[in-house]
Amino acid sequence: MRKSSRSEIGDRPSWFLFERSKSMSGSCLKFGIATALTILSASMASAQEAVNADEMAALCHGGGLSTCVSATIPAAGTQAVQGWMSPDVGAAWAAGYKGKGVTITIVDDFSSTSRFSGNFGVGVQTQRHGEWTREEASMIAPFATIRSKDFSTSSAVSLAPGLNVLNLSYGMYAKAGYRLNQIGWSPEEASIISYATKGTAVVSKAAGNDAVAVGGVTGGQQDYLDLALVGKASAIFVGALSTNGTTSNKAQLAWYSNYAGSNTLVQSHFLVVGVTGDKTGLYGTSFAAPIISGYAAIIGSKFTKATATQITNDLLNTARTDTLVNYSAAVYGKGEASLSRALAPVAIK
């Protein structure tokens, strides 16, 4: 077994950031790691206790730690609404509730040597894929506790007390055609799938960047993590729009984004959000999923007793379709996530 990531594919421009993928090979289809890593349930620190990015890298590599502590998130201190964010976010911050009491765990690449540049409105930075997705989620929900889980370790993802949100801006690709019951998941993905099944964590999964239906075949491969999450209570597939939609300026699916497809189980758990790469230099559904993770944290900070499934359903049930070009469930699933509506009552008297 080997684990790899693909940040650039084919003739797509280098600035295009594909979701990180952990490729699988081998006949037994066990998602594991060829180079065994010691699995430690290292304690995780909150964003407020962050060390700098280089220190974090050392922690990830040194001693074979499977879990990286949270690292410097330059933007978090600014807590400014950025141009790439939906206007909903600014409104959501007005009362000062920004994800407090909720833990977002970013399962991603925090240890590779692959870095790329972008700008979330706080200056150009060059960092790893996981550092980008973590920064984005923390900018949406700046009071949430952010954990970082390096996906190369394959150890089970642990949950924190209170509401948990897992951000998955990666896929698990292997040759197409296997049945799900043929797959032997590593403890990492097995734990994630279990949480989504039981509804113990909101799982925000990047839909993918191959312009196919979720779980579809591309280049002879499929994202089996997508397939494994279909129909799970608290899983949300997140596609990318090219802009944030409004009723007067409707948005359309980004050209690269995977779409919901004809499976109604996918449609009912598929959301889209604006990924304005023209402003950040960052494209891909990798940067759609952290927005939903941040939204879930903000909603969780309002409804402090809500379960992950309830938060998931709230986001899904309040998505807007009137902000999208030629809305269709097969393309946009439930529609564009609306934080303001997710926070509002169904009825009041």
Partner 1 sequence: MRGRSGNRVSFRTTALLLYGLLAASPAIAQEMTTSLVDIHQGSPLSDRARGLGDGGYELQNGSRVSFNQWYRASWVDMHVDLLTQITEDTGILWGFGTGEEGEKYRIEPSLKLGFLTQMHPSANSTFSLSLTATIGGNLTEKPCEANYGDLGTYSVNCRLAASEMAPEETLKYLVNAKPESQHLWLNYRVTF
3-state secondary structure of 61: helix
In terms of Cα–Cα distance, which of 333, 162, 313 is closest to 234? 313
The rounded distance, in Å, linking the Cα atoms of 138 and 156 is 23
11 is catalytic: no
Considering the rule CB under 8 A, would residue 342 count as an interface residue with partner 1? yes
Among positions 269-328, residues that touch partner 1 (CB under 8 A) are 298, 301-306, 309-311, 313-314, 317-318, 320, 322
The residue annotated as part of the active site, out of 66, 86, 108, 112, is: 108
Closest CB 313 distance from partner 1, rounded Å = 5
Closest CB 337 distance from partner 1, rounded Å = 13
In terms of Cα–Cα distance, which of 152, 247, 138, 228 is closest to 190? 228
Considering the rule CB under 8 A, would residue 154 count as an interface residue with partner 1? no
State the pairing for strand pair 102-108/116-118.
unpaired
Closest CB 310 distance from partner 1, rounded Å = 5
301 is catalytic: no
Burial status of residue 331 (CB atoms within 10 A of its CB: 0-12, 13-18, 19 or more): buried
The residue annotated as part of the active site, out of 86, 234, 286, 301, is: 286
Considering the rule CB under 8 A, would residue 196 count as an interface residue with partner 1? no
Closest CB 94 distance from partner 1, rounded Å = 7
The residue annotated as part of the active site, out of 109, 129, 138, 186, is: 129
Considering the rule CB under 8 A, would residue 349 count as an interface residue with partner 1? yes
Q: How many residues lie near partner 1 (CB under 8 A)? A: 33
Q: What is the DSSP letter of 23?
A: E
Q: Which residue's entry shows tokens 């997705």?
A: 133
Considering the rule CB under 8 A, would residue 251 count as an interface residue with partner 1? no
61 is catalytic: no
The rounded distance, in Å, linking the Cα atoms of 311 and 262 is 24
3-state secondary structure of 20: strand
Neighbour-count burial for 48-72, b at 16+ CB within 10 Å, e otherwise: eebbebeebbebbeeeebbbbbbbb
Closest CB 312 distance from partner 1, rounded Å = 9
Q: Which residues bind partner 1 (CB under 8 A)?
A: 92-98, 298, 301-306, 309-311, 313-314, 317-318, 320, 322, 340-349
By annotation, the residues acting in catalysis are 108, 129, 286
